[in-house]
């Protein structure tokens, strides 16, 4: 068909739609709702994926955590972490002897009440070494971090997370101030750049970092027998060598802990990348599911277009017969009604895109959810609306095109 005839078909189709504006608007409503729903739901799903990726990135890259093992008493296993099987020396050995390890840092945790002036705050105290910061991708906001010398000398210095700063200092600069942690005075040497929530929903800024030796002696406590023990060791693997590092650490720790071949490991190695990939995969599946559910409304809109077009063909039977009588060919009639169906879909799709983007912004504003409007999803929804118009408009168009002109002229 020539471009001239195509434009003629477009003009005729638009004129027919303008004559029945209300019916055309109601016909487009299904497409409008469908496209808007697809864009909004995909935006919600993409926002959830993006948020999880940000949280995963905040944990640190190539992260492996080694946890202390469990205690068995009278045949009963008490669970991971009940036995103090890991030590600061284990962390040092991993960093020195495992060539697949970039950094390694021991860590001990415990709750503590913290006081500054008239303010107090209950928070988590984490004793570790300076390598913990690059492993967890932590950055200094104000001041500086503690050093290896502070670890060796059990210096009473502390790094504060933003949540602790906000609750203790009321906008005052905390660097250089003296706070009391379990009644022990500590000098604040620096503050941390906010990290937000972890993938498990924990506030990563509600924490105080200090040298592991200081934490063991002054805050978290412990007997002389387990003075060097730690609850976990965090390790950053060399890029692409995470599986290799896991094998190296397992062999090294079994050797250091004098475990026989028949004995179980007294530690647990967790590859955080695998855990987070599972969470990310779940979010992706949710995004696809939301888009699939929203797409059903597009199908419903397409059925509405087909019904209205069939009604339109019945109402314009005499017009069709007259056009055929004056020389209109089958493809001319077919293109006319097909263009009407596609026009309804495309106009409805354009309106739906505007409403979908607006709905995504409103969801983000009022519900506080992270939403990401993807240009790909917008284009896909628009193209899908055009496909719906062609698919569901073809049958009515074909029925009109192959109508017998004599019967059409005598139709009442």
* Minimum mean pLDDT range among 37-51, 63-77, 159-173: 63-77
Q: Which residue has the higher pLDDT, 283 or 170?
A: 170
For residue 8, the tally of other CB atoms under 10 A from its CB is: 16
Q: Where are the domains of the chain?
A: 3-55+278-409, 84-265
pLDDT at 227: 66
Report the alpha-carbon distance of residue 273 to residue 62 in Å, rounded.
7
Q: Which residue has the higher pLDDT, 21 or 237?
A: 237
Whether 412 has a pLDDT exceeding 70, the answer reads no
CB 295 within 8 A of CB 38: yes
Using CA atoms, how far residue 257 sits from 97, 223, 245, 247, in Å, is 15, 20, 18, 16
Residue 37's nearest CA partner among 409, 396, 376, 360 is 360
Mean pLDDT throughout 319-323?
75
Q: Is the pTM of this model over 0.75?
A: no
Q: pLDDT tens-digit profile of 114-126?
A: 999 999 999 999 9
pLDDT at 58: 65
Mean pLDDT throughout 129-138?
93
Report the alpha-carbon distance of residue 340 to residue 251 in Å, rounded.
72
Residue 290's nearest CA partner among 80, 49, 11, 13 is 49
For residue 57, the tally of other CB atoms under 10 A from its CB is: 12
Mean pLDDT value across the chain: 83
User: Could you tell me the pLDDT band of residue 76, with boundaries at 50, 70 and 90?
Assistant: very low
Q: pLDDT tens-digit profile of 356-390?
A: 999 988 888 887 777 888 888 888 888 888 888 77
Mean pLDDT throughout 307-326?
76
Report the alpha-carbon distance of residue 291 to residue 43 in Å, rounded.
9
Q: pLDDT tens-digit profile of 324-366?
A: 777 777 877 777 778 778 888 888 888 999 999 999 888 888 8
């Amino acid at each position: 068909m020539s471009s001239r005839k195509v434009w003629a078909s477009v003009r005729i189709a638009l004129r027919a739609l303008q004559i029945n504006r209300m019916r055309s608007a109601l016909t487009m409503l299904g497409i409008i709702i469908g496209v808007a729903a697809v864009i909004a739901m995909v935006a919600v799903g993409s926002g959830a994926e993006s948020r999880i990726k940000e949280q995963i990135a905040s944990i640190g890259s190539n992260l492996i955590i080694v946890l202390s093992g469990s205690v068995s008493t009278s045949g009963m296993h008490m669970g991971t972490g009940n036995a103090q099987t890991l030590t600061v020396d284990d962390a040092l050995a991993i960093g020195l002897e495992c060539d697949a390890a970039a950094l390694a840092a021991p860590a001990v945790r415990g709750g503590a009440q913290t006081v500054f002036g008239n303010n107090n705050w209950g928070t988590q105290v984490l004793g570790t070494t300076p390598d913990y910061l690059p492993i967890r991708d932590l950055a200094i906001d104000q001041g500086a971090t503690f050093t290896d010398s502070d670890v060796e000398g059990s210096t009473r210095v502390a790094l504060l997370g933003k949540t602790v700063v906000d609750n203790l200092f009321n906008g005052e600069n905390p660097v250089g101030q003296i706070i009391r942690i379990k009644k022990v005075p500590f000098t604040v040497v620096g503050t941390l750049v906010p990290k937000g929530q972890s993938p498990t929903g924990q506030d990563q800024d509600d924490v105080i970092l200090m040298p592991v030796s200081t934490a063991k002696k002054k805050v978290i406590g412990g007997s002389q027998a387990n003075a060097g023990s730690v609850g976990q060791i965090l390790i950053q693997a060399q890029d692409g060598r995470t599986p290799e590092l896991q094998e190296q650490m397992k062999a090294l720790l079994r050797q250091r802990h004098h475990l026989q071949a028949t004995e179980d490991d007294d530690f647990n190695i967790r590859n955080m990348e695998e855990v987070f990939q599972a969470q990310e995969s779940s979010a992706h599946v949710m995004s696809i599911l939301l888009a699939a559910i929203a797409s059903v409304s597009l199908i419903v809109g397409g059925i509405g277009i087909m019904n209205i077009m069939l009604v339109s063909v019945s109402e314009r039977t005499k017009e069709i017969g007259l056009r055929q009588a004056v020389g209109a060919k089958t493809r001319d009639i077919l293109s006319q009604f097909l263009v009407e169906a596609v026009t309804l879909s495309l106009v409805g799709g354009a309106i739906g895109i505007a409403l979908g983007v607006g709905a995504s912004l409103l969801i983000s504003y009022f519900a506080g959810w992270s939403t990401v409007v993807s240009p790909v999803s917008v284009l896909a929804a628009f193209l899908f609306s055009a496909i719906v118009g062609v698919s569901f408009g073809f049958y009515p168009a074909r029925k009109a095109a192959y109508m017998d002109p004599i019967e059409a002229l005598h139709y009442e």
